[in-house]
Structure 1
Amino acid sequence: MVKRVRQVPQAQRAKAARDAEKESRLTVAARSVFQRLRGLGGRRITVATGAVVVVAAVAVTGYLLSRDDGKRQLPDTRARHYKDIDACLLTGKNGITAGTTAAEVWQGMQDASLTTHARVSYAPVTGEPSAANARPYLNGLLQRSCDVVLAVGKPEVTAAAQTAPQYQKVDFVLVGDDGAGSKTDAKDAKDAKDAESAKNVTVAHTGDGLRAEIAGAVEREVNARG
């Protein structure tokens, strides 16, 4: 009966030899250090011992790193890569407080961001609850090159409705029961009604399904931009 002898690849034999040599060097170095410690005493031994611990730790770390098989490290797949498209929300002073319409709209925007990889942000309007006071905040979003602007709250919706015709390259989503915002005077009402028929304006109504409606509206606008 012929006994089969398992052949060890030359590369594996070479690697095993290198590891054995490294381990031998570490052993010799450690033995030499401890022999020197015998000639020391008291405080000098304490200081020297601390140094030995540090040296040993560095040596062990280097040895472990040297045994790395050299496999390529894969990048972190959890990092999300966003498109160069921004969807921005204009809200009242309460922002996206839980339980508010703005909070539900914000959730819909986040849903759309997960699907499209568009960036989302929001800006609350502080101070007087009027369209005039909301306009500077809206202008700030437009100056930040927001591609899709959503507005929640009557003053905010009115300001967005009046501004939309001047920014045809920006898509607006107006949220409200009437989609027209505050109707404090006839001019506001007319501007809001005109905005509803504009090509760059989408009206979303509050109630059941608002989150999904917002997500769908943002997704459509983002996908239309490629």
Structure 2
Amino acid sequence: MAALAVVVAGLVTWAVWPSPPPQPLARQYRDVTACLLTDERGITGEQAAPVWAGMQDASLKTLARVQYLKVSGEQTADNARTYLASLVQSRCTLVLAVGAAPVAAVGAGAERFPDARFVTVGGGTAAPNVSVVGESAPEAVRAAASRAVTEAVGPAR
């Protein structure tokens, strides 16, 4: 009888023992976003893939959100400027651009958004609010993109 009481007490204790709080299933991001503007190939393009990988690396370190937008339709600076404006107006902390049309759009439109920060990859001209990544090796581009995002958004708190 005593053994049964011990077993019942053990089961009751186990059943009512408080469980640890559940771990969050999603990463808790900060209220900063780095954005990537690409050509029609999106983040799978040869030039964009290492940039996107570097942005994701930085996101893990800084807890900044990263997102991308690809230019659909005509691959011209005029068409890409519309997409660029969309990213700036959505309050991206930093806009990276890769591909001929997106880079040309930054060149033509950065002056219009003096408070925005831009990074062009694979071309473009530096300006007060535009930095240019001149590296071409994928690992160097990845590292440069990660560094640019980390510097723009700051460390995780």
Shorter-chain TM-score: what band? Answer: 0.7 to 0.9
- 2:38 is matched by which residue type in structure 1? T
Secondary structure of the 2:132 match is strand
2:74 to 128, 137, 145: 128
Aligned residues: 152
1:36-185 residue pairs with structure 2 within 5 A? Answer: 67-76=14-23, 79-97=26-44, 100-176=46-122, 179-180=123-124
Higher strand share: 2
1:211 partnered with 2:142? yes
Q: State the 1:139 CA deviation.
A: 1.5
* Residue in structure 2 matched with residue 58 of structure 1 by the alignment: none
Superposition RMSD on alpha carbons, in Å? 2.7
TM-score normalized by the length of structure 1: 0.60
- Unaligned segments of structure 1, at least 5 residues: 1-12, 21-63, 181-192
Q: State the 1:66 CA deviation.
A: 7.8
TM-score normalized by the length of structure 2: 0.83
**Identity of matched residues, %:** 43
CA separation of 1:206 and 1:127: change in aligned 2, threshold 3 A: farther
Q: Report which of the two structures shows the higher radius of gyration computed on alpha carbons.
A: 1
Q: Partners of 1:213 and 1:105 in 2: how far apart? A: 8
1:197 to 111, 114, 127: 127
- Unaligned segments of structure 2, at least 5 residues: none
Q: State the 1:110 CA deviation.
A: 0.4
Higher helix share: 1
Q: State the 1:161 CA deviation.
A: 2.2
1:125-144 Cα distance to aligned partner (Å, 9 max, x none): 11111100111111221222
Could you say which structure has the greater relative contact order, defined with CA pairs below 8 angstroms and 6 or more residues apart?
A: 2
